[in-house]
Amino acid sequence: MTRDGIVTVNRIGKKAELFFSHPKGNSLPGYLLDDLTSQINLLTEENNIAVIILKSEGDNAFCGGASFDELMAINDPEAGKKFFMGFANLIIAIKNCPKFIVARIQGKVVGGGVGLVAAADYAIASVNASTRLSELALGIGPFVIGPIIERKIGRAGFMSMTINHDWKDARWAYAKGLFDETCDRDELDNRVDAFTDTLLDTNPEAVMELKKIFWDGIKNLEELLEERAEISGRLVLSEYTSRFINNFKKKNSKG
Say which residues have a Cβ less than 8 Å from residue 141's Cβ, sequence separation at least 6: 135, 162, 231, 232, 235
Q: Identify the band that residue 224 occupies on the pLDDT scale cut at 50, 70 and 90.
A: very high
Give residue 189's pLDDT.
97
CA distances from 172 to 31, 143, 160 (A): 32, 22, 11
Give residue 72's pLDDT.
83
Cβ proximity of 162 and 198 under 8 Å: no
Cβ proximity of 51 and 99 under 8 Å: yes
What rounded mean pLDDT belongs to the chain? 94
How many other CB atoms are found less than 10 A from the CB of residue 65?
28
Cβ proximity of 140 and 235 under 8 Å: yes
Q: Identify the band that residue 238 occupies on the pLDDT scale cut at 50, 70 and 90.
A: confident
Closest CA to 103 of 173, 34, 48: 173
Give residue 167's pLDDT.
97
Q: CA–CA separation, 84 vs 37, rounded Å?
A: 13
Say which residues have a Cβ less than 8 Å from residue 223's Cβ, sequence separation at least 6: none
What mean pLDDT is predicted for residues 100-112?
97
pLDDT digits (tens, 9 = 90+) for 147-172: 999 999 999 999 999 999 999 999 99
Helix (H, G, I), strand (E, B) or coil at 219: coil
Give residue 1's pLDDT.
54
Give residue 253's pLDDT.
60
Given a cut of 60, whether residue 255 has pLDDT beyond it is no
What mean pLDDT is predicted for residues 190-196?
98
Task: Indicate the residue type of 135.
Answer: E
CA distances from 252 to 62, 134, 245, 248 (A): 19, 16, 11, 6
Cβ proximity of 251 and 144 under 8 Å: no
Structural domains of the chain, ranges and CATH numbers in brackets: 6-205 (3.90.226.10)
Give residue 4's pLDDT.
87
Give residue 67's pLDDT.
87
pLDDT digits (tens, 9 = 90+) for 114-126: 999 999 999 999 9
